[in-house]
Structure 1
């Protein structure tokens, strides 16, 4: 068995890609997408027919140019998600426009629209995760959407406060960003040699994992954003791991043994949960973590930039 096959024994493997050939090669359970990955596949000429279909959809609905661009973008991500679902048994994460990250009402409206577009293609909502930035507004949005049987993937998790609030709101899944946490510390404190044992990104997920299991939280933890293969192997046993094709190729071409590193708490405490964070407490605790504040805002900005690039492409095509 290669390392990817071995890792699948401990964690559910998710591919962080929109490339169908890569998805077929690695045979993941789930797939995650974001504006950056969508833009990459479109710029490479992939999904041309799906792009043309999205443009025709937007033109048929009509309206001013801005309205058509928005409809084309929404239809495109659903077309791509629906196509990917033909090749995997599990879930597709489809990201909401990052510019809505602080708008509860508009995010709910957008999520409902995305789900409706999927259902018009006979895709059951149970196979869709609406991907939302883990702001307070995003977390509360996911809490409401779950009542409508719409599950969410709360992304850009950097602080323990974000993870706590997601669990308390019974969010379906969170994506803590191991690599981006590592990047911040490596840049701010380059004199420290980070091994797996003191890697701040790995330690962040381990802390969340232990806390969730100890308190019986059902929110799924999906490690994301890796910079080194050692980070992935150190999290064997995490509920899910979303991995780029670059690292999946390393795993598939290596037969060395790997060991499970994360285990559910042997003696979890009672079902009495900690007192829920209020909005004020959430902001206070999150903002005490300078790394988390900087990386969350940076992540939203970067996803926004790629969303706008995608819309410029659609604008020209329309």
Structure 2
């Protein structure tokens, strides 16, 4: 019998939630991602030492700031990954720009320009933006410019509907972080897969999209265990950390398909303007708290990255 991972690949695009080169080589995902946390890991990865050194020396010679070198290093990591996967590499706009539409658009354009200088076309890249109202508006502008976007830190149906209205290429609802919040709130240790709040959230979003002919890709993210992944088998994409990829690859058991466009319930579309979006987020403490926390954590890692690059530049 084929492994659970190989069965999953028959119904879902598997994305590696890592920027580590060796992990990508091992699991051979279709797509992969970068973020400040993953670029930080590259700074201490022996396999990335030559690339890191080259970017830092180039920055020093060009008189670039630590932040500029960190930006270049992020793209360098992504460029390296494009040689290892046949699909897309998601590259993140700075978290500190999450509430500034214009600045997010400019940063995204700069990322695409840097990739182009390295011989990599925009069709290989997804610009990753936080699913704030401003981030979603930036995605709408970028999509109209032919730059595809991955809306991340997504925790609610309000965010998902707004992203669909903006014609975002892809969304990343965070399964595990939703579950973490509800576990703490409910005072429980775990949930059965079908009762897992993170799983139920993604299933609801998937059903809404398929019921309304929405082309935006649903990519479940931030998994805590293999049961959450199995419970979303058939989702468009799933981005999975190496440890969980390994667990799925080592297991041999039948994997039933759970999600399929043919089984959509036909739920009606809803209207999502800015006032409705902000009200629905206000009424959802989990989504509000996890979005804010996620932005803060990404910003902390971005600042750590800049500080480490500054040390190397001295």
Question: When the two structures are superposed, what TM-score results if normalisation uses the length of structure 1?
Answer: 0.94
* 1:10 aligned counterpart, secondary structure: coil
Q: Deviations over 1:25-73 (max 9, x none)?
A: 111100012111111221234422222232233334436xxxx112101
Aligned to 1:44: 45
* 1:93 aligned counterpart, secondary structure: strand
Question: Which of 291, 296, 311 pairs up with 2:291?
Answer: 296
Aligned to 2:303: 308
Aligned to 2:33: 32
1:23 Cα offset (Å):
0.7
Question: Which of 74, 93, 96 pairs up with 2:93?
Answer: 96
Aligned to 1:72: 69
Question: Which of 301, 312, 317 pairs up with 2:312?
Answer: 317
Query: Bigger CA drift: 46-55 or 288-297?
Result: 46-55
Question: Which of 153, 158, 165 pairs up with 1:156?
Answer: 153
Q: Is the 8 A contact 2:208 2:266 kept in 1?
A: no
Aligned to 2:211: 214
Aligned to 1:165: 162
Aligned positions, number: 312
Query: Bigger CA drift: 42-51 or 227-236?
Result: 42-51
Q: Is the 8 A contact 1:39 1:306 kept in 2?
A: yes
1:268 Cα offset (Å):
7.3
Q: Pairwise CA RMSD of aligned residues?
A: 1.6
- Runs (5+) with no aligned partner, structure 1: none
- Deviating beyond 3 angstroms after TM superposition, the runs of 4 or more aligned structure 1 residues are 265-270, 273-276
* 1:256 aligned counterpart, secondary structure: coil
In the superposition, relative to structure 1, how do residues 23 and 109 fare at CA in structure 2: closer, same or farther (>3 Å)?
same
1:215 Cα offset (Å):
0.5
Structure-2 separation of matches of 1:159 and 1:253? 33
1:142 Cα offset (Å):
0.4
Structure-1 separation of matches of 2:272 and 2:143? 19
Structure-2 separation of matches of 1:288 and 1:54? 45
In the superposition, relative to structure 1, how do residues 249 and 280 fare at CA in structure 2: closer, same or farther (>3 Å)?
same
* 2:261 aligned counterpart, secondary structure: coil
Aligned to 1:274: 269
In the superposition, relative to structure 1, how do residues 267 and 193 fare at CA in structure 2: closer, same or farther (>3 Å)?
closer
* 1:25 aligned counterpart, secondary structure: helix
Aligned to 1:200: 197
Q: Is the 8 A contact 1:18 1:37 kept in 2?
A: yes
In the superposition, relative to structure 1, how do residues 275 and 160 fare at CA in structure 2: closer, same or farther (>3 Å)?
closer
* 1:47 aligned counterpart, secondary structure: helix
Aligned to 1:234: 231
- Runs (5+) with no aligned partner, structure 2: none
1:312 Cα offset (Å):
0.4
Structure-1 separation of matches of 2:166 and 2:262? 22
1:266 Cα offset (Å):
4.6
Tell me, yes or no, if structure 1 residue 286 matches structure 2 residue 266: no
Structure-2 separation of matches of 1:3 and 1:89? 22
Question: When the two structures are superposed, what TM-score results if normalisation uses the length of structure 2?
Answer: 0.96
Question: Which of 172, 175, 179 pairs up with 1:175?
Answer: 172
